[in-house]
Every structure is written in C-alpha cells, then in structure tokens.
Amino acid sequence: MAERLGYFALVLHTHIPYVLAHGRWPHGMDWLSEATVESYIPLLDTFRKLAERGIPPKVTFSITPITCEQLADPSFPDELKSYLQHKISLCHEAEKEWRKQGEEEMAKLVKMWEDFFGRTLEKFEELRGDLIGELRNLQEAGQIEIMTSAATHGYLPLLLLDESVQTQVRLGVSAHRHHFHRQPRGMWLPECAYRSRYEWKAPLIDYKYLRKGVEEFLSEEGLQYFIIDTHLLKGGKVTGVYLERFEALKALWERVEKVERPEEIHRHPYRPYLVNSSGEPKRPVGVFVRDPETGLQVWSGQVGYPGDGYYLEFHKKHFPSGLRFWRVTDPKADLGAKEVYIPEKAEERIEEHSLHFLTLLKKVLGNFKRETGEKGIIVAPYDTELFGHWWFEGPKFLRRVIERIAEDEEIEMITCGDYLERYPADMMVSLPEGSWGEGGFHWIWLNEWTEWTWRYVYQAEMEMKELARRAMGKGERVRRVLNQMARELLLLQASDWQFLISTWAARDYGEMRVAEHYNSFLRLSQMLKELLAGEEPEPPAWQYLTYCEQRDRPFPYIDPFSFAELSFPPSTRGGDKL
C-alpha cells in the first residue's frame, strides 16, 4: 500500500445577491435561476450519486445566508419551474428553426439542451424544490461540510462600525443554525477579505477608532476557521481571481499592479495556522490558505482547463433562445470565429484534465512532504458558479476528480473541519489586510466609481446604531420598523453592488440597488423617529413599510439590536447540533 502524501479540500463558495422581487432579466431573478439550473442542481446531484456509490464527496460547501434565504423562499420553486419550462419551450422553437435551415448538427445540440433542462426539472421535482434540505441531508450523512458566511456578503474590512461586522457574522451563524440545524465550524469571509485589529481610519470620512480583527468576531461566535488567499500568508506577487472575466478590471489593475508588495515569506500554504490579532487571551481561529498552483489551473480561462478549445464557450449565445452551441475554439478568438461544440470531444478532455489535476495534486503534496515531512492539505476554493455556469463541463470534471482520488492510495478528500480535528493547527501567524481580488486589497470594492456607495453605507450604519439604541424596549411597532431598517441596511452593505459597478457587469443595476436600499432605509428611519417622538406616522408610511417587508423579506429571525452595541457572547457552542 502506497504511503499517504496528504489531503485535498475542495471548497465551493455559493453566493447570489438578493434578487427576489428585484427584476428578472437581464439582471435579477434569472441570475439565481441560471446558477441553480447550471451549477447548484448538477453539483448536488453529483454529490448524491457519488454518495450512493459509496464515494463520500467530502466537499466543503460554503453557502451565504442570503442565498439560503432565497432558495428556501416559498416563491422559489414555482419561479424555477417556470424558468425551466420556458427554457424547454425555447428549445422547441430553436430546434424547428435549425431543422428548417437544414442544420441537423445544430438541431442535435438543441436536443442536448432540451434533455439537460428536462432532467434538471425532474431532479428539482424529486427534491420537492428543497435544495436546502438536500444540502442538510448530505451534511447529516457526513458526505459534505457546509460553511456559513456573512449574512449578505458584506465586505467586512470596509464596513464603518464593528457593530455592523458583528451583525453580519452573528446573523450568518444564526441563519446557518436555522437552515441546517447545527452550529457551523467555518465561515467564508466575503471576497476572502481580512483585517486585523488596529487603529483604523475610515476612508472618505473623518472617523477613526481601535477596531477588532475580523477573526475576533468569528471567535466570539464559536467559529473555528476561515480561508484566505495565498499572498496574505506569504506576501509576494498577487494573483487575483477575477481579472480575466471582466474587462473593466484591467483599468483598475493598471493603477494597482505597480504598488510595492511585501517580500515573500517562506510560509507554506499546505497547513492551517492560527490567528488572534487582539493581543488578548482570546480563542484563536484557524485559517486555511488557497493553493495557487491548483487554483490557477482551474480558475484561469487562458491557461487553465476552462479555456480548452473543446469546452463550451460561455459568451457566445444564440438569439433568441439564449442557448450556447459553440466551443471555446481558442480563448483569444473573436466570437465570430468560434466553432461548433462537439460534446464527445469535451468528454475526452474531461478525462484528460481530471487525470492531469490528480497528478498535479500529488506533485504539490509530494514536494511539501519531502521538504517538511508533513502530510499537507491543498485547499482549493472556487466560486460554485464556476462549475456549470461559467464552465459547463465543470461538474463532470469535479466528479471525475473525486472518483480518481477515491481510487488513489496517496491522497484523500477531506473537509476543512475534519482536517482540523485530525491535525489541529498549532502555529500562530499575523496576517496583513487584504482580499483575493485584483491587487490583493480593496480596490475592486472601493474606487472612484464606488466611493459614493460607501458614503451611503456609512451614513446608514451610524443612524442604525443610534436608533437601535433608542428603540430598545419601545414596543412591537417600533421593533417592526427597526427590523426592516436592519434588512435594508444589510442589503445595502452587500459587496455585490460595488463589484457590479467596478466590473461593468451590470453597473446600472448595482447603482440602482444601492440607491433603492438606501432610500428605503431613510424613509423607514424617518418613520421610526416619528414613533420614538410619540408621533403617529401617516397611513402611507405604514403602507410603504408593508411594501418593503414584502419586497425584502430575508431573515425573519433578525436581531436588529446587534447593531446597537458590541457584545461578547461566551464561546460555548462548539460544533454541537441544536
């Protein structure tokens, strides 16, 4: 029997901003439907089928609370079924069109899509529309581990108040316990963005104070680990994860790529570390580090697997069906030069690439073991939507990778939490501030295009803190208004809006959503001030509150008073179930 080289932790981060009742196409609910149809359902089906064959997938599956709230919303099953039925009807029309033109090869590809949507609908109905329940069942069976995240994917290092970070983290834990019936072990920091404890000065406004490190909030909520990008551990060159996907990032990148980087430190990303920047005897939190070698091999559309000429091209779509019939051909080829997709060739490339990936894993772990004598862990975090949505063949690639690892004696799939149980971290490190975005810092989220959004966020945070303090013990009507204010602020804080603005992916939509939640917050704030002053708001104010409650309805268990002041709950929850 071959000696074990080490372990592989596949981490999938699942997040879609809150789009229920906020548009459908081209920006809005279709985002959630597309991700569910092309990524979430295929991946869950893959995990389930592997488990049925006695191959535990052991994937660490991060899903944001705001995504859970949408998938669990009573309106979602009918919405998704309608989406799939519409896609199937578009296939019928497209097939007629291609056959009429004598394009039998294209008609055959339409049939591929029709079968895909039809099978997806069947799988969704088998699950009774309960994707959260399927995730929960997989975790209860020990097949996967589910991580939580900040409530609405707020960009934690740039939020103005520690009370806001506390609320995002605490609500992230509460939501996880609500949906999955147990305490989470790990938390995905939005955009892998971290900030230690130090005397912090806010950008854009004159406001500074000693801020807690992000890991302190995790520690206080009983969380055991988070994940960072490589450069936060080692320094040196930064490899961002979004640059190739978004043209607009090149403009930002030109301004930050010349920034002086800290020298590379000889620290290995193949073991977990401990972090406690407080200077106090607090329980440290474990931190796993993204592996750059395997990351580039999968993330990159230029040198990675998704850029292979035989895989399905993401950007070229048929009008009016929206279906994709062409292959990458060459990553640099103009869309007009893309050749027709050949599914059989793509299947062959999956076999070759999955074998190459296994070989790469063993090479990296072998090198680490020879140097240190340790059985290391490769942590490979990706956006879930990369597999299936961006890279159509991605779920099949992952299935083959997991199957190959199951057959191999030198490497083992493992979740991050399970690894920490076997090999507790024992080395304390200090981490710099940064993220996994281009430049390794905050530029994607804070730049001249987005400064105004942060002014809105900061004003709302300050007002929320003051009014939450004043509203304590003031009755149910006051609590009702404050609850909705908290929802609007949390949605305003979502990092997605700045990302959409900076990448030009949906700039108008991102700007609209910021303005919408900010204006709703202000109107509700005025209503609350009237109630606190003993005045009765006019009927239109109550009607507007009802409208906001119906439009923005996540987190019925929200605690708005966590915005009022910092608290230090005892870390006694561990990993026990409720």
Cite the active site residues: 191, 383
Q: Is the peptide bond before 26 cis (omega within 30 degrees of 0)?
A: yes
Query: What are residue 154's DSSP bridge partners?
Result: 494
CA distance 152 to 154: 5
Tell which phi-psi region holds residue 382, choosing left (phi > 0), alpha (psi between -120 and 50) or beta.
beta
Distance CA 481, CA 175 (A): 21
- Angle (deg, nearest 10), helices 76-100 and 104-126: 160
> For residue 411, which of 49, 13, 58, 11 has the smallest C-alpha distance?
58
Residues 430-453, buried b or exposed e (16+ Cβ, 10 A)?
Answer: ebebbbbbbbbbbbbbbbebbeeb
> Please, are residues 567 and 221 in contact by the beta-carbon 8 Å criterion?
no
Residue 312: other Cβ atoms inside 10 A: 18
Q: In what order do the strands lie in the sheet with 225-228?
A: 225-228, 285-289, 273-275
Residue 294's nearest CA partner among 353, 223, 237 is 353
CA dihedral sign, ordered 84, 88, 93, 99: positive
How is residue 515 written in tokens? 């303005």
Residue 62, φ and ψ in degrees, nearest 5: -85, 130
Amino acid at 57: P
CA distance 167 to 560: 8
Angle at 142 between CA 136 and CA 145, to 5 degrees: 65
Residues 241, 302: Cα–Cα separation, whole Å: 12
Give the contacts of 575 (CB within 8 A, at least 6 positions apart): 182, 183, 185, 224, 417
Relative orientation angle of helices 507-532 and 496-503, to the nearest 10 degrees: 150
How far apart are alpha carbons 212 and 282 in whole angstroms?
A: 12
DSSP conformation class of 398: H
Instruction: Report the C-alpha dihedral over residues 312, 230, 378, 190, rounded to 10 degrees.
Output: -70
Partnered with residue 246 across adjacent β-strands are: none
Residues 369/2, Cβ–Cβ less than 8 Å: no
Q: Which two tokens stand for residue 518?
A: 């900010």
Q: Which two tokens stand for residue 412?
A: 């083992």
Q: Please give the radius of gyration of the chain, using alpha carbons only, rounded to the nearest integer.
A: 24
